[in-house]
Structure 1
Amino acid sequence: MPEPVAAQAAPAGGAGAPALDETMLAMDVVDTIRHADRLVERELEGTDRQERLRERLREIYKSQGIEVADHVLDQGIAALEEQRFAYAPKGQGWRRSLAIAWATRGRWGRFALAGLGGIVILWGIYHFTVVAPRQREATAVTRELQQDLPRALRAEHDRVLAGTQDATARADAARLLAEGEAAARAGNLAEARARRTALSDLAARLAAAYSVRIVNRPGEPSAVWRVPAANPRARNYYLIVEAIDRDGRPVEVPVTSEEDGRTARASRWGLRVPEAEFERVRRDKLADGIIDQPVIGQKAAGSLATTWTVQTSGGAILSW
């Protein structure tokens, strides 16, 4: 408990403002009560709490050799209940907050500048590593859809028309061009690219010229037969053939397997033929190890079809 302020009893007589000593003593009473929280809680219970509190305070001051008049004690008790000597801070207005921030700028300014610098650096990294690449990609995609792809589609279409008079091929080229341009206008990049690739493949197939001949090399089969899974009592017969250009180089062509539906580009495949054709080739090779007429098909430039010199359904296999 803080030491009470020593004071003399108030002078008797006259009404008027309380003496300074009485005011100081009343404030001391308030401070004594405030620092004795348990005393306040205990003494202020009940209807005669002020009287009991007055007696308790009188004992406290008497034990310290200080005589305090009753009216001074009453002033202290009343001041405590009215919060007269309690400090009540003013509200936190924006002007006060701004003034405090300005006054303490030396403490938080360095951290604020460091934080701001970190934010700027992070934003720069994000912009140059994420935002800028996305913007460049979006610009490139837009340019491709609006300019590059339409030009490429038209160029491949014109290439097809220049390389063939085949009505079917020309109709396929017109369809692919229309689908590709529609996809580009709709912003469908994948579909537009796919139609451009299809047109390019069509032009390449039309431009290709090659012969189809039976493979006739030591250690390699020239013909095979297979048992179809759907009919174990049947046999399918195939000649193993390859596509060769005029310079003797292999040519890869699209081939679809009738066994699993897989399509792949291959220069060698199995061509399905009747059993009689299979037996003819087998006997020819067994006779002297040489097939007398190995070339069985011709693919001319400007055409998609191959002209065969043997009977064939056109069915094929990719492995044997």
Structure 2
Amino acid sequence: MAEMVATAPASPPDQPPRDLDEVMLAMDVVDTLRHQENLVSRELSEHDRDAQLLQRLREIYHGQGIEVPDRILQEGVQALKEQRFVYTPPGPSFSHTVARAWVNRGRIGRLLVTLLALLAFGWGAYHFGVVEPARQRAAEVQAQAERNRIELATRLPTALEQGHEDVLREAQVPAARERADRLLAEGKTAIARGDADRARQALNDLEVLRAELRREYVLRIVSRPGEPSGVWRVPERNPAGRNYYLIVEPVAPDGRILSLPVTSEEDGRTVTASKWGVRVSETTAMQVQRDKSDDGIVQRNRLGEKRRGQLDVEYQMPVLNGAITQW
């Protein structure tokens, strides 16, 4: 029940409500009637019901200390019947929709801007994150395919033949010529299959073989002060035995120390090293140790020599198969 304190004096019964206080009081009466559905029994006639409503309203407002004129009470009862103070929202229509959109234009505008921003971001992410990379990859694949086609048709066949001839001019052992022939055949087979990568690999292997044949050096035993000339190891598979190694370095004819690929027998890794240990027998290791013990210098310091046109080192001391790169 809505509560309201009336401060204006009651108007004569025959004078209709005209000021704001009277209108508000009439509205309060209507509100009181709406919230008091059991004020009057439904079985009463309309005339009796109106009388009962007026009487009940007088009691309610009198109990609240509010004096409400009968004409205000009658005005409220009549207003309730006529639904005068009831707001009936308009039904759906195009004009109503447009009006609501205009009233909410700020919120709708922000929503539209946010939606457009999300759509633009999504399109940009898809375009630059998916479409453009895919287009670039496709272009690169197409360009690489064209380069491969040109190389397979012109450069690679000529380069393979030239690389093979260069190796044969350097080779002084049958093993080198046989390897060159095998690489040439592999390259030609790759060209016939359209495999440019394998053809390039065959060409690269020919160039490596030629460089290996041209290389020449002396495998010298290290005998500098403070550096070991030999070491020994206890093999994991034979704890009761010992493996002996001479520490060597490859010296070019101009005195440069070369760095060459060496595979360690201990871990199987191949590294590029300027010094490594060559496995020898205990007898050979002891001979080098006695040589160095005389004056601190290994007089016979040539373990072997790699000549141009050869693939392998010609050892001047007996060696065993194996090497180490750390000690």
State TM-score, norm by structure 1.
0.61
- 1:78 to 2:96 alignment: no
Distance 1:112 1:79, change over 3 A: closer
2:167 counterpart (145, 155, 164): 164
Measured after TM superposition, the shift of residue 130 of structure 1 is 7.0
Measured after TM superposition, the shift of residue 277 of structure 1 is 2.5
- Residue 268 of structure 2 aligns to a residue whose secondary structure is coil
1:31 counterpart (27, 36, 47): 27
Distance 1:122 1:233, change over 3 A: same
- Contact 1:6–1:66, Cα closer than 8 Å, also in 2: no
Q: Which residue of 2 aligns with 1:64?
A: 68
Q: Indicate the percent of aligned positions where both proteins have the same amino acid.
A: 28
Q: Which residue of 1 aligns with 2:300?
A: 292
Q: Deviations over 1:272-311 (max 9, x none)?
A: 122233233333334452433515131545x654343433
- 1:273 to 2:280 alignment: yes
- Contact 1:257–1:315, Cα closer than 8 Å, also in 2: yes
1:44 counterpart (30, 37, 43): 37
- Contact 1:227–1:234, Cα closer than 8 Å, also in 2: yes
Distance 1:146 1:225, change over 3 A: same
Alpha-carbon distance in structure 2 between the residues aligned to 1:260 and 1:292: 30
Distance 1:316 1:66, change over 3 A: same
Q: Which residue of 2 aligns with 1:214?
A: 220
- Residue 287 of structure 2 aligns to a residue whose secondary structure is helix
Aligned counterparts, 1:176-255, within 5 A: 200=204, 203-204=207-208, 206-208=210-212, 209-219=215-225, 220-255=227-262
Measured after TM superposition, the shift of residue 234 of structure 1 is 0.8
Q: Which residue of 1 aligns with 2:20?
A: none
- Contact 1:257–1:263, Cα closer than 8 Å, also in 2: yes
- Contact 1:164–1:170, Cα closer than 8 Å, also in 2: no
Tell me how many residue pairs correspond in the alignment. Answer: 290
- Contact 1:214–1:222, Cα closer than 8 Å, also in 2: no
Q: Deviations over 1:239-278 (max 9, x none)?
A: 2111233322222221111112222111210011222332
Q: Deviations over 1:115-139 (max 9, x none)?
A: 7998799899979997899579747
- Contact 1:227–1:233, Cα closer than 8 Å, also in 2: yes
- Contact 2:222–2:249, Cα closer than 8 Å, also in 1: no
Alpha-carbon distance in structure 2 between the residues aligned to 1:138 and 1:238: 53
Measured after TM superposition, the shift of residue 86 of structure 1 is 2.2
Distance 1:161 1:242, change over 3 A: same
Distance 1:318 1:138, change over 3 A: same
- Contact 1:255–1:264, Cα closer than 8 Å, also in 2: yes
Aligned counterparts, 1:279-318, within 5 A: 279-287=286-294, 289-292=297-300, 294-298=302-306, 300-301=308-309, 304-318=311-325
How well do the aligned residues superpose, as a CA RMSD in angstroms?
A: 5.5
Alpha-carbon distance in structure 2 between the residues aligned to 1:304 and 1:120: 67
Amino acid at match of 2:70: I
Measured after TM superposition, the shift of residue 55 of structure 1 is 2.6
Measured after TM superposition, the shift of residue 235 of structure 1 is 1.2
Measured after TM superposition, the shift of residue 237 of structure 1 is 1.4
**Structure 2 unaligned regions, length at least 5:** 18-22, 43-48, 169-175
Amino acid at match of 1:78: K
Distance 1:214 1:198, change over 3 A: farther
Measured after TM superposition, the shift of residue 230 of structure 1 is 2.4
Distance 1:97 1:201, change over 3 A: farther
Distance 1:131 1:88, change over 3 A: same
Measured after TM superposition, the shift of residue 319 of structure 1 is 1.4
Distance 1:254 1:68, change over 3 A: closer
- Residue 271 of structure 1 aligns to a residue whose secondary structure is strand
Amino acid at match of 1:164: V
- Residue 164 of structure 1 aligns to a residue whose secondary structure is helix
Aligned counterparts, 1:6-17, within 5 A: none
Distance 1:216 1:241, change over 3 A: closer
Measured after TM superposition, the shift of residue 312 of structure 1 is 2.7
Alpha-carbon distance in structure 1 between the residues aligned to 2:146 and 2:259: 32
Distance 1:235 1:202, change over 3 A: farther
- 1:90 to 2:90 alignment: yes
